[in-house]
Structure 1
Amino acid sequence: MSSVTGQGHVFWEDLTVGDTLRGPGVTITDSHLVQWAGLTGDWVSLHLDESYAQAAGFAGRIAHGPLSLSLSLGLLTQTGIFGNVKAWLGLDEVRATAPVLIGDTVHPEAEVTAARPTSKPGQGIWTLAYRTVNQRGETVMTFSSSFLLRRRPGGGSDAV
């Protein structure tokens, strides 16, 4: 029998508190801003009107905050660690700390800040503290996100 596409080989036990991950980067383009606005209905002038954004004190149009957040979540999936996620549990402490401009290249970094078993056998929870970083090494966003994961079949103790 063949394996399920997208099924991961990383289980809850494979990451512990203090482990860090880095996802690939993406360069933000005009297309990102326009498509995000169309997808979400967020047609705020800071994102779509160059003159308006400059008059507001920015070097140019800036990316939507939720776009930056979504890219960080999505880019980290490319590390392959989420194949055994059963559920995304949510976000906390979202902060936009610097603008993301067209032409900036951003990538996610995440540290495991909590790894605990659940009361149900075969499941555990990771909490990751994310940083979205631009090409100059500046942190442009921070947040934490939690995930429910499968535990390794026949996995050992609950100690982390």
Structure 2
Amino acid sequence: MSAVTGQGRVFWEDLTVGDALRGPGVTITDSHLVQWAGLTGDWVSLHLDESYAQEAGFAGRIAHGPLSLSLSLGLLTQTGIFGNVQAWLGLDEVRATAPVFIGDTVHPEAEIAAARPTSKRDRGIWTLSYRTVNQRGETVMTFASSFMVRRRPEGGER
């Protein structure tokens, strides 16, 4: 799997079904959990109370599922492929498959699962299948996300 880097001008035609991408990683800290709770109002004890999380059967506090999802979406933007995105169309098939703990390092991997033109000649749709992977190579989340992307202008830049 190769990484796409830089802030290049990637158009819809530049990626096809099966192309694989990998974003950088981030190590989850206490600050991530506390700030996410404050930002979203998600003050669930599994994320903020060590004793409660352990009594619930976890080794310690776990990251919010939507935090892991948002990090995957955000970290993949650092590959530079989203410079021509005109709209984010949504999420499908979100599954949290394993807990993310403080100290885990996660990164996104994505594959172009579908690429189709739209009725408007200047744009197309990409659907990416995401995996969020921890430092042990375990998949901790999967989901699909779709984007409307500008097509390369006819006779335009390459």
Is 1:88 aligned to residue 70 of structure 2?
Answer: no
* Structure 1 runs (4+) greater than 3 angstroms displaced: none
Identity of aligned residues (%): 90
String of CA shifts for 1:34-78, please: whole Å, max 9, x gaps.
000000000000000000000000000000000000000000000
CA separation in 1, counterparts of 2:60 and 2:155?
52
- Number of aligned residue pairs: give it: 151
Q: Residue 76 of structure 1 aligns with which residue?
A: 76
Could you tell me which runs of 5 or more consecutive residues in structure 2 were left unpaired when the two chains were aligned. 1-6
The letter of the residue matching 1:22 is R
Is 1:148 aligned to residue 148 of structure 2?
Answer: yes
Could you tell me which runs of 5 or more consecutive residues in structure 1 were left unpaired when the two chains were aligned. 1-6
The letter of the residue matching 2:76 is L
Shift of 1:121: 1.3
SS at match of 2:76: helix
Matches within 5 A, 1:88-107: 88-107=88-107
Q: Residue 28 of structure 2 aligns with which residue?
A: 28
TM-score (norm 1): 0.92
String of CA shifts for 1:82-109, please: whole Å, max 9, x gaps.
0000000000000000000000000000
CA separation in 1, counterparts of 2:134 and 2:45?
23
Shift of 1:117: 0.3
Is 1:119 aligned to residue 119 of structure 2?
Answer: yes
CA separation in 2, counterparts of 1:9 and 1:111?
19
